[in-house]
Amino acid sequence: MSQCTEGPHTHPVEERLRTLFICSLDGDSAAYHVFLQDLARHVRALLRKRLPNLRDDVEDVLQEVLIAIHKGRHTYRRDEPLTAWVHAILRYKLADFLRARARHEALHDPLDDFPELFAESEIEPAEIRRDLGKLLDTLPDRQKLPILHVKVEGRSVEETARATGLSEPAVKVGVHRGLKALALKIRGGGKA
């Protein structure tokens, strides 16, 4: 056992982790192994507090943090507190995770959230087309075209992407945001 890993674990977290990490930077692989185990426990606890409703994602974010620390270990300045450096990496990885999750959720919202826009009506088809055309004309093309192709013409998202030059995620987002804007206009909510 090296002097970095031996003895009781009575040191405060910062001192213990910093000692182990500096020993590992100096070539002590056993210290690095203990450092990673201790750090994982510390970061996991922090993530569980910050992601209480996303327990299944804690381990994925933890792995991203540990990988970032491993890859960036050469950037650590020995005169700085280790936990501040670790927490900065944790904040960035957590922000990346939350941004990616928000994008993922936005792209997977159901496209049929607003059935009242396309409900059966007793109005003549010509009137419906005219009114729908007027409503769609109030939207920017990045919303109008996806709605026209996907919802009115019944094309797939893939076909719409090819026809409009938009990406498939942009088509989905355009439909979702456009329908939301139209629903607000129909309900009298004003501008979207």
Sequential DSSP letters for 129-150: HHHHHHHHHTS-HHHHHHIIII
Angle at 64 between CA 62 and CA 65, to 5 degrees: 65
State how far the Cα of 157 lies from the Cα of 188, in Å rounded to an integer.
Answer: 29
Does the structure show a pLDDT above 80 at 130? no
User: What residue segments make up the domains of the chain, in order of their start?
Assistant: 13-107, 115-186
Residue 131 — pLDDT band, cuts 50, 70, 90?
Answer: low
pTM exceeds 0.85: no
Domain 115-186 has CATH 1.10.10.10: yes
> Could you name the CATH architecture of 13-107?
Orthogonal Bundle (1.10)
